[in-house]
Amino acid sequence: MKEQMNIAKDKMEKTLKVLGSEFAAIRAGRANPAVLDRITVEYYGAQTPINQIAAVSVSEARVLVIQPWDKGALKAIEKAIQASDLGINPQNDGSVIRLTFPQLTEERRKEIVKEIKKLGEDSKVAVRSIRRDCMDKFKEMKKNSEITEDDLKKCEKDTQDLTDKYVKSIDDAVAVKEKEILSI
């Protein structure tokens, strides 16, 4: 029983971490190297994340500078950024690539907030799915006479409490990110 609860807790914790990394990758009008995490570059025949072939730094509040360790990768990085859903045109000066993030319009802020809420909802669905799997395991244990009816009730209550805790954490994370986007 305890082991099953720990497994569920670990999975819910991972769901929360994934949500955090998704939020970090959302373009919020400020330069954030995490927006490049999902972009890979064709480099010597392999898809490679930008941060593994270049130094990515924030030079100003809204400017990212990408300095590849191999100058030959400049064109490939530029092409990968243009092909991505980032929506920013890279400026290549021959030694570094600059990404200038425009100020967010009110309309774009609202789109980003919708995206944030959708990511939050998806995470809550994942947490509830973990709860369902955990409850199913407990019911199976009861059916196999491994636990008593009272144990089953306690496990179901504990699982629900754990689920409520993580759903609240997700709601809090969504609220913080939403406030950040709307106050830029």
Residue 27: per-residue pLDDT: 63
Identify which has the larger pLDDT, 139 or 182.
139
> Is the pLDDT reported for residue 1 higher than 90?
no
Domain encompassing residue 147: 2-24+105-182
Question: Of 46, 81, 100, which one is at a domain's C-terminal end?
Answer: 100
> Is the pLDDT reported for residue 88 higher than 90?
no
Domain count across the chain: 2
> Average model confidence (pLDDT) for the chain?
89
Asked whether residue 80 falls in the same domain as residue 46, the answer is: yes
In 3-state terms, what secondary structure has residue 154?
helix
Asked whether residue 139 falls in the same domain as residue 164, the answer is: yes
Asked whether residue 170 falls in the same domain as residue 145, the answer is: yes
Mean pLDDT across 1-5: 86
Residue 61: per-residue pLDDT: 78
Q: HEC states along 70-130? A: CHHHHHHHHHHHHHCCCCCCCEECCCCEEEECCCCCHHHHHHHHHHHHHHHHHHHHHHHHH
Question: Of 68, 100, 132, which one is at a domain's C-terminal end?
Answer: 100
Cα–Cα distances in Å, from 42 out to 48, 69, 87, 89, 150?
6, 15, 19, 18, 57
> Is the pLDDT reported for residue 184 higher than 70?
no
pTM over 0.85: no
Asked whether residue 129 falls in the same domain as residue 152, the answer is: yes
Q: Tell me which of 24-33, 86-95, 105-114 is least confident.
A: 24-33
Question: Of 100, 116, 144, which one is at a domain's C-terminal end?
Answer: 100
Q: What percent of the chain has pLDDT over 70?
A: 97
Asked whether residue 65 falls in the same domain as residue 133, the answer is: no
CATH number at residue 93: 3.30.1360.40
Asked whether residue 19 falls in the same domain as residue 109, the answer is: yes
Asked whether residue 12 falls in the same domain as residue 42, the answer is: no
Mean pLDDT across 87-94: 87
Q: What is the pLDDT of residues 30-78, one digit of tens each?
A: 777 888 888 899 888 889 898 899 999 988 878 889 999 988 889 999 9
Q: Tell me which of 5-19, 26-40, 136-150, 156-170 is least confident.
A: 26-40
Asked whether residue 114 falls in the same domain as residue 132, the answer is: yes
